[in-house]
């Protein structure tokens, strides 16, 4: 399901989890349980060793996930195994995308069933290259913009 289709339903329950917490193997089941519990969109965070825009709860989850062996390859594997009818959205930092390659990252999102990306530290005015890669692979790029 596309993100825009989910919003046609009206108000949504959008839930975030840090992939890999408590373990990479548990992530697909947790995503399926969130859907079963009523989540309309699931934000699946890719843990980062140096989170600059996360509070202490998400920082702790990221550290547990990294310690449990979560990495970018395992992230996409878990996302692909988490077969759900609701949209899955990547949430993470630009340097993880840049290191993998913008086109490859967007393609990996699409191939694993991720239909949207939230990049916490990417300002819209600098997003054209990633927007292009996302458009080519049918992934929505979602911005966090302060009022």
Q: Given phi > 0 = left and psi -120 to 50 = alpha, else beta, which region is 107?
A: alpha
What positions carry a catalytic annotation?
Answer: 43, 54
Would you say the C-alpha torsion 134, 39, 27, 59 has a positive or negative sign? positive
| 8 A C-beta contact, residue 139 and residue 114 | yes
The torsion defined by the Cα of 108, 113, 116 and 118, in degrees rounded to 10, comes to -60
- CA angle, residues 74, 134, 92, in degrees to nearest 5: 45
């Amino acid at each position: 399901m596309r993100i825009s289709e989910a919003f046609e339903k009206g108000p949504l329950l959008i839930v975030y989890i840090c992939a890999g917490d408590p373990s990479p193997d548990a992530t697909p089941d947790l995503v399926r349980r969130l859907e079963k519990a009523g989540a309309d969109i699931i934000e699946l965070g890719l843990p980062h060793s140096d989170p600059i825009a996360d509070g202490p709860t998400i920082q702790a989850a990221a550290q547990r996930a990294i310690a449990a062996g979560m990495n970018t390859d395992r992230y996409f594997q878990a996302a692909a195994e988490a077969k759900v009818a609701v949209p899955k959205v990547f949430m993470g930092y630009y340097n993880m995308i840049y290191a993998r390659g913008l086109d490859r990252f967007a393609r990996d999102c699409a191939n694993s069933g991720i239909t949207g990306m939230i990049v916490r530290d990417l300002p819209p005015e600098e997003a054209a290259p990633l927007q292009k890669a996302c458009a080519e692979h049918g992934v929505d790029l979602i911005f966090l913009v302060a009022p």
